[in-house]
Amino acid sequence: MLCRLFAEVLGLPEVGPGDGFFDLGGHSLLAVRLTLRLRAVLGVDVALHTLFEHATPAALDRVLDSEARTGRPPLRPYAPRPDVLPVSSGQRQLWLTDLVTGAGAAYNLSTVVRVVGGVDVGVLAGALGDVVGRHEVLRTVLVEGGGGVVQVVLPPVGAVRVGVCEVGADRVDAVVASLCGRRFDLSGELPLRADVVRAGGEEVLVLVLHHVAVDGWSMGPFFADLERAYGARAKGGVVAWEPLPVQYADYALWQQELLGAGGDPGGVVSQGLAYWEGVLEGLPQELELPVDRPRPVRPSYRGGVVRAGVGAGVHRALVGVARGAGASVLMVAQAALAVAWSRSGAGVDVPVGTVVAGRGDEVLDEVVGFFVNTLVLRTDVSGDPSFGELLERVREADLGAFAHQEVPFEYLVRELNPDRVVGRHPLVQTMLSMDTESPAALSLPGLRCTPVEGAGERVAKFDLDVTVRELPGQGG
């Protein structure tokens, strides 16, 4: 069973009892996912420290019996559901951000592809309706009620309206940008829009979803379902779905149950909150970075993208440094950034945020929804440590943070109640993430779809957002 779970998380056909998780390409974020899968399948809470120190299936098996049994409620369909459905913590956070800062299109996720072969708009509308019918969150609106915000799941729509516009070739980019930049009314419209832009013989398909209903992982099952539904509709049929094991509303109810146990001193949330209260005590209210203008009263969300790369040799060296320290490439990048920011005036206490997938149960693998959570990673640069010493500090801090990821960021902010400034994110203003997988790509039967790079990228939700990508076979 352990070999199978290792292989599943690593995306490999098989793993032997003596194969090392990190030697096979594992990193800290995949390690987190493995611990969550161990919890879901075996009912055991395996600490990240344990996995780092016993990184083969055989070694882990020898210590598994000493790990604690999970006390979390199972994730399951709720029937009957209550009349009022709560939002998840992530949805509440995005709703409040939209309400307070007027985030506009900052949380739009846009997919833009050039299409050869002719999009059948009627087929596409029906296929999108099929996908929206399958995933409740894509037909959910957020409304005020019950003293806060709640979610309302609308009936299946049958077909999703697909806009079509004919423009001159010189207007395509501007029209696409306008479509990607339109804000959603979260209380009154589906969190999904589709448009086809035609210019002469060229067609561009624009799909825009709001983050309140999807995350990066969601695009894989969303595209797969859309491809299948489009293919069935194109042949005059309708896809026959297997029922999803749970819907996003079930996850929100489960999370409410989990957070409702916060009064239990031995509960997951109580222990997690106690950990974060200790770790974040005295956290700087703002990371001081060298900037060329004052912070605006309200964020504009206008941003830019700067790309830089390193060669294969440097990458191999980074991997070697990480493995030698029992760490990950993400931890090495975090340590290096902490040094750079500290020397640029940020001080010796350097917090940065990172995201985790939040999909610890396999029943969520094919479910579209917003599951990610933000963690605060705090780096202590004081005392002029060597880089090796600093990396050890980062490793210990990160393993502790990942082990307590169940506490939603929005809940943590509410409980810790840091000073709030409209134009500044609470707790962290910079982000660091690791991207080791190619993004999901849209494919429609009978059509050739080519992604349009850069659509929707000119948005900055944080002061600085650093993404580290490993690109095997591309010289880096």
Q: What is the pLDDT of residue 182?
A: 93
Q: Let me know if residue 387 belongs to a domain.
A: yes
**Do 201 and 331 fall into the same domain?**
no
Q: At 37, which CATH number? A: 1.10.1200.10
**Do 276 and 402 fall into the same domain?**
yes
Q: What is the pLDDT of residue 103?
A: 72
Pair of tokens at residue 183: 């804000």
Q: Tell me the mean pLDDT in the region 330-351.
A: 96
Q: Domain count of the chain?
A: 3
Q: Give CA separation, 278 vs 124, 271, 282, in Å.
A: 52, 11, 9
Q: What is the pLDDT of residue 73?
A: 75
CA distance 34 to 374: 18
Position 278, amino acid: G
CA distance 372 to 375: 10
Tens-digit pLDDT profile for residues 275-307: 999 999 999 999 999 988 888 888 888 888 889
Q: Is 341 helix (H, G, I), strand (E, B) or coil?
A: helix
- Is residue 91 within 8 Å of residue 372, measured between CB atoms? no
Model confidence at 317: pLDDT above 50: yes
Q: Tell me the mean pLDDT in the region 112-116.
A: 96
Which range marks the domain in which residue 352 is found? Answer: 263-438+458-469
- 267 pLDDT band, cuts 50/70/90, is low
Position 113, amino acid: V
Among residues 219, 235, 251, which one ends one of the domains?
A: 235
Among residues 235, 251, 273, which one ends one of the domains?
A: 235
- 367 pLDDT band, cuts 50/70/90, is very high
Q: What is the pLDDT of residue 52?
A: 85
Q: What is the pLDDT of residue 376?
A: 97
Q: What is the mean pLDDT of the chain?
A: 90
With residue 177 as reference, give the H or E element that holds it. Answer: helix 172-180
Summarize the chain as % helix, strand, coil (round to 5).
40, 20, 45
Model confidence at 82: pLDDT above 90: yes
**Do 292 and 337 fall into the same domain?**
yes
Tens-digit pLDDT profile for residues 390-401: 999 999 999 999
Q: At 195, which CATH number? A: 3.30.559.10
Least confident piece of the model among 258-267, 281-290, 352-361: 258-267
**Do 58 and 130 fall into the same domain?**
no
**Do 26 and 108 fall into the same domain?**
no
Q: What is the pLDDT of residue 269?
A: 79
- 476 pLDDT band, cuts 50/70/90, is very low
Q: Let me know if residue 147 belongs to a domain.
A: yes
Among residues 17, 38, 66, which one ends one of the domains?
A: 66
Q: Let me know if residue 444 belongs to a domain.
A: no
Q: Let me know if residue 43 belongs to a domain.
A: yes
**Do 36 and 119 fall into the same domain?**
no
DSSP of 9-71: HHT-S---TT--TTTTT--HHHHHHHHHHHHHHH-EE--HHHHHHS-SHHHHHHHGGGSEEP-
Crossing angle of helices 329-341 and 312-324, rounded to 10°? 100
CA distance 58 to 61: 5
Q: What is the pLDDT of residue 68?
A: 57
Q: Let me know if residue 451 belongs to a domain.
A: no
**Do 270 and 207 fall into the same domain?**
no
Tens-digit pLDDT profile for residues 165-174: 999 999 999 9
**Do 51 and 118 fall into the same domain?**
no
Least confident piece of the model among 84-93, 109-118, 320-329: 320-329
Q: Give CA separation, 218 vs 94, 313, 440, in Å.
A: 17, 34, 9
CA distance 207 to 212: 15
Q: Is 326 helix (H, G, I), strand (E, B) or coil?
A: coil
For residues 154-176, one letter each, b for 16 or more C-beta atoms within 10 angstroms of the residue's C-beta and e for the rest, the string is eeebebbebeeeebeeeebbebb
Pair of tokens at residue 356: 């985790």
Mind spelling out the 3-state secondary structure of 68-84?
EECCCCCCCCCCCCCCC
In percent, how much of the chain has pLDDT > 70?
Answer: 95
Q: Let me know if residue 5 belongs to a domain.
A: yes
What's the distance, CA 86 to chain centroid?
21
Q: What is the pLDDT of residue 471?
A: 78
Instruction: Kindly give, in sequence order, each residue whose CB lies less than 8 Å from that of residue 70, ignoring residues fewer than 6 positions away.
Output: 39, 43, 44, 45
Q: What is the pLDDT of residue 11?
A: 87
Model confidence at 380: pLDDT above 60: yes
Q: At 383, which CATH number? A: 3.30.559.30
CA distance 15 to 19: 6
Q: Going by DSSP bridges, is the β-strand pair 373-380/430-435 parallel, antiparallel, or unpaired?
A: unpaired
**Do 58 and 7 fall into the same domain?**
yes
Q: Tell me the mean pLDDT in the region 429-455.
A: 88
**Do 429 and 310 fall into the same domain?**
yes
Q: What is the pLDDT of residue 473?
A: 65
Least confident piece of the model among 38-42, 110-114, 148-152: 38-42
- Is residue 283 within 8 Å of residue 378, measured between CB atoms? yes
Q: Let me know if residue 452 belongs to a domain.
A: no
**Do 221 and 190 fall into the same domain?**
yes
368 dihedral zone (left: phi>0; alpha: psi -120 to 50; beta): beta
- Is residue 245 within 8 Å of residue 77, measured between CB atoms? yes
Q: Tell me the mean pLDDT in the region 312-328.
A: 90
In percent, how much of the chain has pLDDT > 90?
Answer: 64
Instruction: Kindly give, in sequence order, each residue whose CB lies less than 8 Å from that of residue 406, ignoring residues fewer than 6 positions away.
Output: 72, 258, 268, 269, 272
- Is residue 399 within 8 Å of residue 354, measured between CB atoms? no
Q: What is the pLDDT of residue 457?
A: 62
Q: Give CA separation, 252 vs 52, 85, 179, 186, 263, in Å.
A: 31, 8, 30, 17, 19
Q: Tell me the mean pLDDT in the region 244-257.
A: 95
Tens-digit pLDDT profile for residues 139-165: 999 999 767 899 999 999 889 999 999
Position 422, amino acid: V
**Do 172 and 226 fall into the same domain?**
yes
DSSP of 110-134: EEEEEEES---HHHHHHHHHHHHHH
Q: What is the pLDDT of residue 69?
A: 59
Model confidence at 436: pLDDT above 80: no
Q: What is the pLDDT of residue 373?
A: 95
Q: Is 406 helix (H, G, I), strand (E, B) or coil?
A: coil
Position 13, amino acid: P
- 45 pLDDT band, cuts 50/70/90, is confident
Q: What is the pLDDT of residue 66?
A: 66
Q: Give CA separation, 294 vs 102, 244, 349, in Å.
A: 20, 48, 22
The owner of tokens 């409702």 is: 260
Q: What is the pLDDT of residue 240?
A: 94
Q: What is the pLDDT of residue 126?
A: 98
Q: Let me know if residue 353 belongs to a domain.
A: yes
For the sheet with 349-356, list strands across it. 373-380, 349-356, 430-435, 464-469
Q: Give CA separation, 55 vs 13, 47, 404, in Å.
A: 18, 12, 20
